[in-house]
Structure 1
């Protein structure tokens, strides 16, 4: 078996594949051009997309060339999903998202050198294709029976599915064939939910070009309870720092559950197998130290946001729990912390609440009597400074960066207030 295929299997990154022996031989024969596509259905890519980039990074390290397709045309339609018909975004919005996502993926993979990744947009070749051309040149190779047999289509038939979404598979298959014809791309990777589209493209190349292509589908990453990985109570974990701050991003992975953290580490860390296996052993022996969580959070934040942002996120977490100075944090980091803590709003800097009111407003304690009891017992803190007076009132001097206050009960229960004006 090819060394790269063996690594991808060990990392849990292969859920579906065409003939693995044939693919191994293909990869052993020389440099292979492989592509993965991202549809701009939002302003940013997310954790599921990052899985695909990790596969392409592994291919590139092994001497193969990645092609990263951003779907300027397919993004105008949207792949059918089980939840129901997508809302189609206007062309100007999609164009803006295309450029944002191209910039994101371009930062996450090497674009330089002989095997540097190439960024492509399928609007470049679909904008000139007529409906007649699509039907004669592509649609002729598709069986309606097979299209109806796709799981997502079957699940939508009773409620209804538009012809637009039903025919999406033709456009993605066209992409694979166009990249094959123009650049010699012979491999596509994608999530397991894209497996039907991937195999349809492979079949189109076989039927129209008489050539063999290959595909790999990655598994859907889940939490131990089966829910989708990369989702939080507040929504999706995005790679855009304005949509999910580096602090919140780092915290998400620090809080990865013990049962799944090593599996996530294999996917999102590029540490060698021996090092990951040693981390797994140490974590099993001393789970309270959260060794695997720290490695995961640090590695993935370094990759997506850079080391400086990761260090700022770690410093914020340390300061939040009294291990360093909150006053040293900049306004952007404090804003991210306040958002993550769901900070209680304060309307006026000249009418700040009492410490008792602040503890209640932030949810750190349940009632004013509990707040006073916490202060009496020596467990109340404002910006990491112990409060001893139950009648104390916050002042402008307590405002970090002129806007934020952090309150804490004991060592671990933290809340924040933020000025809204």
Structure 2
């Protein structure tokens, strides 16, 4: 059986390891319990989290046991990694709600039956810690001088780093120690921005329990230009279909840059690598076929085959490659609201195609809005009932976003 380490390496996941040869040998000879942490800072996972879920799926398929750690305790502090300012403090009620949303979503990707995967919440042990005993057992193993050289802290020194956030690394390290003692967890995995935090946990276990522990980080989901993927003008690409519709999710992957197709196929699908390389090597108009496969496969993993097919049909209908489809995003508005007409700017904001009237004004002036294929540049344009054909009008925003309005 192929060693999962080799699979992850070939597909471009692995960035850094604490002990590469030992890790590869370990993953090849026994079933290893490992963990990845998710701080519930929102009520849905996003595309960046999905890369971590795919990693766990590869590991579980190879016979290893994932622990999904929901950071109900660490979210009370906030990870300073990658942040220029302190995170907004969340209430315990919000954190608990978000944690439940994460649990539901992650359960779609992993098999939790018969102990094949475990889900825990670090609030269970962090919230009841006694401060002085914790400092005496754990805090003494951390050098402040060394912690301040970590990238997650170093980048914050100019603007200021709160003592609250300074504790985050120690808390995450303690999570690893707790999971090691309770579940014989030997590895922590995470995005490459978590390297300093992961090192802290590995070293803590080796010092306190004199046991081997390992860490491995994975590439962050970025474009060929180094920008984080999963962001659009209207915000993050979420896994919750209520926050990002399956159609919009599909369209995001259908429209990635040509240079990013092979990387996305490799990291976000389970297609064999020979097929990935073949699709990634396509050029010109042919690369669109690879993008359709990418969009379909990723949407199928996140939203299921039925929604992936509906999104694919909706996309084809827009470009004249398929029958008229009901799968394009649509909003129903009472006919009475158009009796005297609705201003185009107000309509765009009402449909959440723009976040404000000022954004709508700018978009219209720049020629970024079309109604049923006709570009509208007049910011005072009124959409009236007679503009609708068969009680439907199609709004096109930019080159890629389509939305139907239906009269009811």
Fold conserved (TM > 0.5)?
yes
In structure 2, the partner of 1:293 is 291
Q: 1:304 offset after TM fit, Å? A: 0.5
Of 323, 326, 329, 2:326 maps to 329
In structure 2, the partner of 1:406 is 394
Q: Does 1:183 align with 2:175?
A: no
Residue-pair matches, total: 382
In the alignment, the residues of structure 2 paired with residue 190 and residue 134 of structure 1 have an alpha-carbon distance, to the nearest angstrom, of: 25
Unaligned stretches of 5+ residues in structure 1: 382-391
In structure 2, the partner of 1:254 is 254
In the alignment, the residues of structure 2 paired with residue 175 and residue 397 of structure 1 have an alpha-carbon distance, to the nearest angstrom, of: 59
In structure 1, the partner of 2:232 is 232
In structure 1, the partner of 2:337 is 348
In the alignment, the residues of structure 1 paired with residue 343 and residue 233 of structure 2 have an alpha-carbon distance, to the nearest angstrom, of: 30
- Render the CA deviation track for 1:259-280: whole Å, top value 9, x for unaligned: 1110111000111222222323
In structure 2, the partner of 1:43 is 43
In structure 2, the partner of 1:174 is 174
In the alignment, the residues of structure 2 paired with residue 221 and residue 169 of structure 1 have an alpha-carbon distance, to the nearest angstrom, of: 23
What pairs with 1:33-182 in structure 2 (closer than 5 Å)?
A: 33-81=33-81, 82-113=83-114, 116-182=116-182
SS at match of 1:129: coil
1:408/1:267 CA distance change after superposition, 3 Å? closer
- Is 2:329–2:404's contact at 8 Å kept on the other side of the alignment? no
Unaligned stretches of 5+ residues in structure 2: 348-359, 376-383
Q: Does 1:307 align with 2:296?
A: no
SS at match of 1:242: coil
- Render the CA deviation track for 1:170-194: whole Å, top value 9, x for unaligned: 1101110111000000011000110
In structure 2, the partner of 1:389 is none
In the alignment, the residues of structure 1 paired with residue 396 and residue 88 of structure 2 have an alpha-carbon distance, to the nearest angstrom, of: 43
- Is 2:279–2:287's contact at 8 Å kept on the other side of the alignment? no
In the alignment, the residues of structure 1 paired with residue 29 and residue 391 of structure 2 have an alpha-carbon distance, to the nearest angstrom, of: 63
Q: CA RMSD in A?
A: 3.4
- Is 1:2–1:27's contact at 8 Å kept on the other side of the alignment? no
- Render the CA deviation track for 1:297-333: whole Å, top value 9, x for unaligned: 111100101111111111222233344554x516x94
In the alignment, the residues of structure 1 paired with residue 265 and residue 400 of structure 2 have an alpha-carbon distance, to the nearest angstrom, of: 28
In the alignment, the residues of structure 1 paired with residue 396 and residue 148 of structure 2 have an alpha-carbon distance, to the nearest angstrom, of: 57
In structure 1, the partner of 2:316 is 318
SS at match of 2:259: coil
- Render the CA deviation track for 1:196-237: whole Å, top value 9, x for unaligned: 010100000001000111111011221122211111122111
Q: 1:3 offset after TM fit, Å? A: 2.2
- Is 1:32–1:64's contact at 8 Å kept on the other side of the alignment? yes
TM-score with structure 2 setting the length: 0.84
Q: 1:128 offset after TM fit, Å? A: 2.0
- Render the CA deviation track for 1:36-65: whole Å, top value 9, x for unaligned: 000011111111111111111111111101
In the alignment, the residues of structure 1 paired with residue 18 and residue 104 of structure 2 have an alpha-carbon distance, to the nearest angstrom, of: 31
1:111/1:352 CA distance change after superposition, 3 Å? same
1:416/1:173 CA distance change after superposition, 3 Å? closer
1:323/1:175 CA distance change after superposition, 3 Å? same
1:366/1:48 CA distance change after superposition, 3 Å? closer
Q: Whose radius of gyration is greater, 1 or 2? A: 1
1:43/1:25 CA distance change after superposition, 3 Å? same
- Render the CA deviation track for 1:319-376: whole Å, top value 9, x for unaligned: 33344554x516x9424xx9xxxx9x99823345899xx9x99959959xx99xxx9x
- Is 2:205–2:211's contact at 8 Å kept on the other side of the alignment? yes
- Is 1:206–1:213's contact at 8 Å kept on the other side of the alignment? yes
